[in-house]
Structures are given as C-alpha cells and as structure tokens.
Structure 1
C-alpha cells in the first residue's frame, strides 16, 4: 500500500484528537461550570452538560447508519468526512466567542462541535479499507489511534502550559487562555486534516445511481439492517463489542470523577490525563505488533483481561500514586482494544459498504456511553458504596469476553459476503 496514503489517513486522528483531549475531556467541562454557567447551581450545570453530551450522541446515533449508506452509494465518504470536520472545526473556534454566563449558547455550540467530531469519525473509520490490506490493517488502525494519543497529548500539554502561565503567553487571565486553547484546537484540526484531503484516494464503486442518493441510501440501509439481524456471527461480535467497549468508555468517562470522589487534587488528575496520552502512543503500536505476531482476537482478550484487573485495582485504590498507576495501565490497553476492535470488525465486513457497516459500529459505540454510567449510578444509589459501583463495570468485560469467544472472523466474513451477494 502507498505509505503516503496510510500516514495521511492516520494523521486525521492526530488532528481531531486535539478536540477530544483539550475540549471534551479537558477544558470545556471545567470552563462550563466556572465560566459559562458561573451563576447556575452546580447540580443544574452538571445536568446541562450531561444533556449536551447525550443529545449530540443521540443525533449521531440516528444519522450515522443512514449517512454511511448514502456515502457508500455515492462513493463520497471523504466529502461527508470533511462536511462534519469543518462543522467541528468552526464550532471549536466559535466557543472562544461566547461570553460569561451564556451557557445556553455554549451548549448549542458544543453540541454542534460534538456532532462534527463524532460524525467525521464515522467516515474516517470507513476509509480504513481504502488505505490498508488484510495483512497490515491491524497496524494501520493502531497507527491512527497511536498518533491520536500523541497529537492530542502534544497540544493539550501546550494548552495546560498556556493556562498555568497565562501571563507568559500575553493573556490577561485564565479565561482568555482557555478561549485561545479552543482556537488552537480548530487550527490544529484544520491543518493536520489536509493530508487526508489531498493524498487519500477513496475506493469508488462503479454503481449507476438510478434514484436519489438519499433514497438509495435508505434502501441500502434497510437491506443491510435486515441482513445483519440474520447474520448471527456478525451480530454476536457487535453485541460483544458493545459490552466490552461500554466498559472501556465508562472507565474513560468516570475515572477522573472517581478520582475526585477519592479526594485527589485536580492538578494530579490533569497530569494523569497527560500520562494516558503519551503512554498510549507507543502502547497502541505495541498492541498492533502483538496482533500481527500473535492473533488479533487473542490481543483483544489480553486487553479485556487487563481491564478487569484495572477495575479491581480501582476498587482498592487510596493513594495518589495508585491513581497514576491506574492511568498507566489504562494507557497500555485503551488504544489497543479500540484499534484492534476496529480492524477486527473491518476484516468481517464488505469493503464496498464500509461506511454503512461502520455506521452500525459507531451506532453501538455511541450507545455504549449510556449503560455503563447508568449501572454505576444505580449500584452507587442502592449500595452507597462508590467502590462497589466501579466494580460493577467488570460485568461488561466478562460477558463481552464470553460472547467474543464464539466469534470466528473468517466464517463471519464468508457468511456476510454470501448474504450480500
């Protein structure tokens, strides 16, 4: 395969991970409470932020499969990718223009930015078969996640420096530094998206469009949904993936909150987030090598096993240094399990319908952000024990691993191809 295409594709992860790290995970939640919602009750502002995240995920859940079907029908995955990317880039920059107390406008812009970020990822994933072969797909997928960790970590480090030493950079206060960080994310995202735009060629299918793209996309979506429901092997993998990735996403979203509940300082939590970014870069590539020399499915199993240990470690944690150890363990497997799951799934689906099938894949991924935190909330409510609540997350990994055991990717790929012919 063309190395320029591979690295150009992977650089998009480097580009948009700046949004995931600086905006979604880092500054926006803190800035929303302290600046945009400064005069709003803390509990109410938390509800507003939760609603914003849920709404953007729900919109993508509704749109991704249909848009994927349309993109496949017209071979226009790159066009859709950049349509959503430019939305995310513009809204990231727009966050810097919102004043103190304007939480309603902040929520609106943040929802649009999230839609741009998540929507572009659906079509980014679907371009993976266009830049890789069956032999190197694990490496290519992992390279994207690895560069994402590194790129997101590099810019976030600069942004944290800007916040902590705002006078050195010429800012009047911390708010000005954070607003400048939002603009830096937009510039970073736009600049490093250019290689994908210029050097990645989409595999185009020779299909005659006798009807409108929307109608044809809807018809293809309906047909594929019917097929997936009948393909037990593929459906089994999607359910297994949904379960264990629910555990992964729950730990991503709840680790910092859990650290705060244990009384750890916010500076320690930010440092832990940086550790995840920089350790995650080489660890993700290491998992790709492991999958090449061992087996993709076995490597996913290893990651699941480590995650079960991570949950156990979290339930026993008391000291700050233990939280840093937790961050390192998460960094070792987080990128690996995400990248290998993506490449493992890609091996089982028809490449001429990749955007559509990855629409379903991301559809489940977005739903995976709902049930894990809900389980933690319910267990915590009835047990009044946060450690027991965290322990409950292991259920997702155990059941997901059991279901994954019954998946044979080669048989599934054959069955999928036969069903769609």
Structure 2
C-alpha cells in the first residue's frame, strides 16, 4: 500500500466535502430560500429545492454507469475524476452571480455542481480498492470521510465568519459575502484535489480503441452488469437495501437546512449547527471505522441506521434552534461512519476487475432511487402544505433499508465476488 497515494486519496475528501457542507447542506439552502427564492409562495422554495436535488441525481444516474465502464476500459479513473472536479468547482465560482429571485439560475448551478460532486465520487470511490487492501478498507474509508468532515468544517467556519462578520471582511452587505463564500468553495475544491491528481496515475489500458467504440462498449457493459448481478445474489440484496437507506441519508443531508429554515429556525443557528456536525463527525467517523472492525461492518451499519430512524422521528417535532443543534450532533455521530462502512461493504462484495463498472452501476441505481427522497419530501410538502409531513415520509426509507439488510450474508457475498473474478460465481453460490 503506497502511503503517499492513500494520503492523497484521503485529501480529496477534504477537498470536495466543501461542496457537500457549504453548497448542499449549510449555506446554499438558506440562500436559496431567502434570496434566490425571494418572491415565491410560502414553502415553495423548499419544494423547488427538493425537485432540484431530484433532477441533479437523475442526471448523475444517467452519466455514472457508462462513465464507470469507460473508466475501467480505458483505465481513466483519475482523468474522469479531474474532469468532474473542475465542472463542480466552476459551478461554485459561477454561483457568485446568483441574486435575488434567481432561483432558476441557482437550481441550474446546483444541478451542475452536484453532477461534478457525485459524478466524481463514482471514480473516487472506485479508486479505494485499487489503492488499499481489503483488510484496511474500513479504516481508510472512514479516514477519508473523517478528513472530509474536518476540511468541510474548516472552510464552513471561515464561511460563517465571512457571512456573519461581513462588515469586518469589507463586504458591502451580507448577500455579497454569501456570494463570495461560493467562490471559496470552488477554489478550495481545486487546490486540495491537486495532490490526488499528481500522485495517483491511471493504470495503463487500451487507448487505441476509437471513442465511439468505447462509449458503445460502456453501454454494452452496463447492460451486461444488469445480467451479471444475478451471479452475485448477496451483492444484489445488499444493493436493494442500500438504495433505500442511502436515499434516507441523502435526503437528510440535502433537505435538513431548508427544512429548518422553512419552519422558522434562524439562519445563524442552522449554519452553526451544521458546523458542529462537521467537527463532531471528524472523530466520530474515525471511531466508527474502528467500531466496524470490532463489531463487524454489518452490525455497525445497523447501529447507524437505527440512530437515523430516531433522528427523523425527533425532527418531525423540532421547533427551536436548540432542537436543531441536538439533531445536528446526532447526525454527526453517524453520517460519515454509515457512509464509509456502506462504501467498504460494497467494495468487498464486488468482483475486483469490475469495481469501477459496479460502482458506476451503483451510482446509476442509487441516484435513481435517491432522487425519490427529495422528490417525495417536496411533493408531500406541496400537497399537504406541511414540510413536517415531508420529513416524516423519509422514515420509510430507513425502515425498509434495515429490513432488507437483514437478508444479506456478507461472508457469502465475498466468496461470490472472489469466485466471480475467476468466472465461477455460480459455483461459489452453490458451495456457500
């Protein structure tokens, strides 16, 4: 294991988490509701934000599996990661120009940024098995999320200072300070992504094939992946569970702040609470990775999902800033850990030669499924006039995910994945 490359891989989480914290979770949702969505009917901004997230995820879903297959075929994981990184970062820089009532421009740039962020993560995640042996993946994966919390948290702290102390920083008003905050995210993302691009190189592959043939192969391999999943029944069951609980986690991430803003929580409380989430998340994610080694990945994942069920139930009754702070701490305890463990479990259940392809397929399927959460939130809120009922609907995703996870046998799944590498997945399934 090349420690320099592993450190660079971890540093990328530090880089792109600035988008997750400032653009998706903390500042942009509040800005969208109060500035970009100015003039919209009450509650409409929250619904539009939910629909924006849905469209963004569907776009990523359509792109990711084909790109993942192409990356495997051409050995271009790092190259594709760099392209998506610059697309996402440039969308942040362009967000400086969002003004009052520009909710459509804001939605378009958020969609573009999410494509850069989530599309890039397809290749980032697929690099983990290439750089880290299986026995170390839980710990390194958790370290990546932990550094992401720290990096995103540090920039968010600076962003809060810029917004709340706009006069001290020399801005003419709070709106301009917030617009400048979006620029800092783009710069941060690019600068701290450079170590990965410099130290991790794409593996040699067949680059003589014409681009059209590669794209056609990408589609063909993606269709083959659908058929191939039948050879890995435990992986198929895990993916089904993942679709549901990941949808719940994603919906909490992208909708929590605008939900709080809509029910009357002050902007300062919303952003500070999410800053606390970042710094709670750093040590909690490190500890969660160790907990997964001690308890086993599956039990650790169970624990995190049960806590999410509690978070959603308490969120329905939330009324004050103090409540939002308490829930933000609870999210920080499990968010990074649950995602890190879920990612490493999936890596262990996939056949090694096709991991980018399978991560691409997971991006397709999970983004299609994850688009349901924000859409359901927005739809329930629009139909009932209550965003509280919208957040309560998210509970179903966690409950169903937990029940499906109970059906997965991880040891059998690993045997199926390794047997699949030698073309004998069916035999492994029979023997197990």
**TM norm structure 1:** 0.90
Between the two proteins, the alignment pairs up a number of residues equal to 421
CA contact under 8 A between 2:142 and 2:337: conserved in structure 1?
yes
Q: What residue number does 1:347 align with?
A: 348
Show the 5 A alignment for 1:283-298: 283-298=284-299
**Secondary structure, in 3 states, of the residue corresponding to 2:134?**
coil
Tell which deviates more after alignment, 357-366 or 95-104. Answer: 95-104
Q: 1-side partners of 2:94 and 2:316: how far apart?
A: 40
Q: 2-side partners of 1:47 and 1:401: how far apart?
A: 27
Show the 5 A alignment for 1:348-367: 348-367=349-368
Instruction: Give the CA RMSD over aligned residues.
Output: 2.7
Q: 1-side partners of 2:33 and 2:330: how far apart?
A: 30
**Secondary structure, in 3 states, of the residue corresponding to 1:264?**
coil
Q: What residue number does 1:309 align with?
A: 310
Distance change >3 Å, CA 320–CA 407, structure 1 → 2: same
Q: 1-side partners of 2:54 and 2:234: how far apart?
A: 30
Q: What residue number does 2:429 align with?
A: none
Distance change >3 Å, CA 347–CA 202, structure 1 → 2: farther
Superposed displacement of residue 199, structure 1 = 1.4
Q: What residue number does 1:328 align with?
A: 329
Superposed displacement of residue 216, structure 1 = 2.2
CA contact under 8 A between 2:143 and 2:285: conserved in structure 1?
yes
Show the 5 A alignment for 1:46-61: 48-61=48-61
Q: What residue number does 2:428 align with?
A: none
Distance change >3 Å, CA 387–CA 24, structure 1 → 2: closer
Superposed displacement of residue 17, structure 1 = 1.0
Q: What residue number does 2:182 align with?
A: 182
Q: What residue number does 1:237 align with?
A: 238
CA contact under 8 A between 2:126 and 2:356: conserved in structure 1?
yes
Show the 5 A alignment for 1:111-260: 111-204=111-204, 209=209, 212-260=213-261
1:43-81, Cα deviation, whole Å (9 max, x unpaired): 665555444333222111111001100100011011111
**Given the alignment of the two structures, is residue 267 of structure 1 paired with residue 268 of structure 2, yes or no?**
yes
Q: 2-side partners of 1:91 and 1:108: how far apart?
A: 9
Tell which deviates more after alignment, 215-224 or 305-314. Answer: 305-314
Superposed displacement of residue 185, structure 1 = 0.9
Tell which deviates more after alignment, 38-47 or 225-234. Answer: 38-47
Superposed displacement of residue 144, structure 1 = 1.1
**TM norm structure 2:** 0.88
CA contact under 8 A between 2:373 and 2:394: conserved in structure 1?
yes
Superposed displacement of residue 97, structure 1 = 3.8
**Secondary structure, in 3 states, of the residue corresponding to 2:371?**
helix
Tell which deviates more after alignment, 309-318 or 2-11. Answer: 309-318
Q: 1-side partners of 2:375 and 2:282: how far apart?
A: 30
Superposed displacement of residue 329, structure 1 = 1.1
Tell which deviates more after alignment, 293-302 or 212-221. Answer: 212-221
CA contact under 8 A between 1:127 and 1:202: conserved in structure 2?
no
Distance change >3 Å, CA 320–CA 90, structure 1 → 2: closer
- Structure 1 residue runs of 5 or longer lacking an equivalent are none
Q: 1-side partners of 2:391 and 2:45: how far apart?
A: 24
Superposed displacement of residue 203, structure 1 = 4.6
- Structure 2 residue runs of 5 or longer lacking an equivalent are 424-432
Distance change >3 Å, CA 353–CA 43, structure 1 → 2: same
CA contact under 8 A between 1:130 and 1:202: conserved in structure 2?
no
Distance change >3 Å, CA 47–CA 402, structure 1 → 2: closer
Q: 2-side partners of 1:12 and 1:234: how far apart?
A: 27
Q: 1-side partners of 2:202 and 2:410: how far apart?
A: 25
Q: 1-side partners of 2:283 and 2:98: how far apart?
A: 37
